[in-house]
Copies of this chain bind each other. A is one copy, B any other.
Amino acid sequence: MSDAIHLGFDLSDPVLAAAAWSRLIEPGDRAAGVLLAERGAVEALEWLASGSTAMPAALGDAAAWRGARERWLPRLAGLDPRREMDVLARLGGRVVLPGDPDWPGGLDDLGVDRPPCLWVRGGRLRPRLDRSVAVVGSRAGTAYGEHVAADIAAGLVDRSVAVVSGGAYGIDAAAHRGALAARGCTVAVLAGGVDRFYPAGNADLLAAIEGAGAIVAEVPPGSAPMRSRFLSRNRLIAAMTRGTVVVEAAWRSGALSTAARAAALLRPVGAVPGPVTSMVSAGCHRLLRDGSAVCVTDAAEVAELVGSLGEDLAPDGRDDGGARQESTGAPPEGLDPREARVLEAMPLRGSAGAESIARTAGLSVGDAQVALAYLELAGLAERRGGTWRRVRP
């Protein structure tokens, strides 16, 4: 494991390196996120290929990284992202990297959950996604729910708002269709590779979406739409839009995870009510009951929910999150329990060393350092020499 691995492509090409990372990891691999944010895709890949067990600076001791390396190394041998890029090129697609003009700025709010790149077919993502809303819901939507989803999507398009969804049967498909019927822009974010339109029954719809908007995935062509990837995909839908609306969702529904992700990213969440006798509205009513969502019944109310999508929009799409975070004053959501513990363990005034913080938090120094690195990326902690201090949001 300490021997260098020879890769058959140009490691120094940032596009190839990012594409390689999207193949090496499963979506939402936070250790990779920390590494890539710290080092960039090229340097991180060189480090991994070198077989070096020396730690990336300031990311804690090697032990903390062993697990991550062991996840990534099996996919490293024989890795060649040029194959996937060739498949994509034949389909007229492209790879979009963080910082590219076409990169959806909202994804940067994901911090270390940010994907290394996006695989895209169709038209440009920006500025369209700067004015976009996610309309999601149950695969088993009723005629009522599909009608409302299409109606809301069409109304959003009339307000020059792009409609983002997951390309699935039911509510997702109805939302895409409503946007297409109103000749607007709609974007489907898939859990598998963009080379394969899944589900197959929506192939024609997805082709139309490619023509009128775009098809997006964080996994490379050839990747199967596995269950875990659906849940990870939902964070992209939540992050790249200005708000999420759930039209119909059963008590336990993937659409609720999109709503939860959106809420954690401080994006407004709306839920469309329905008959209380309908099981596929139970999830929406649950969101309304526990205050996680605002009741919305038409496109005008959705537009009101997400607020002004116009001239006050910051170029990177982060203004909204920032403002809300500031106004609440509460510790930001979206931290995992370990990160929240580390944040809590940091002194309110002054600074402390990682070892002291780890002791207070009851964590290993390595775990605390990983969490501190994430908190730094999230703008909540700041390194000063060998110590850490809080940053007021």
**Chain A positions near chain B (C-beta within 8 angstroms):** 144, 147-148, 272-277, 281-282, 285, 288-289, 294-298, 301
Contact = CB atoms under 8 A, between A and B. Distances in A.
Contacts of A272: 276
The 5 closest A-B pairs by CB, nearest first: A273-B273, A276-B297, A288-B295, A289-B295, A285-B297
A56 to B, nearest CB: 48
Given A274-B274, A295-B295, 18 more contacts: A144-B275, A144-B277, A147-B277, A148-B276, A148-B277, A273-B274, A273-B281, A273-B285, A274-B275, A275-B275, A276-B297, A276-B298, A285-B295, A285-B297, A288-B288, A289-B294, A289-B295, A289-B296
State the main secondary structure of chain A at its contact with B.
mixed
A64 to B, nearest CB: 44
Nearest to A142: B275
A288 B276 contact: no
Contacts of A294: 289
Contacts of A282: 297
B273 A276 contact: yes
Nearest to A270: B289
Nearest to A282: B297
A277 B273 CA distance: 10
Contacts of A281: 273
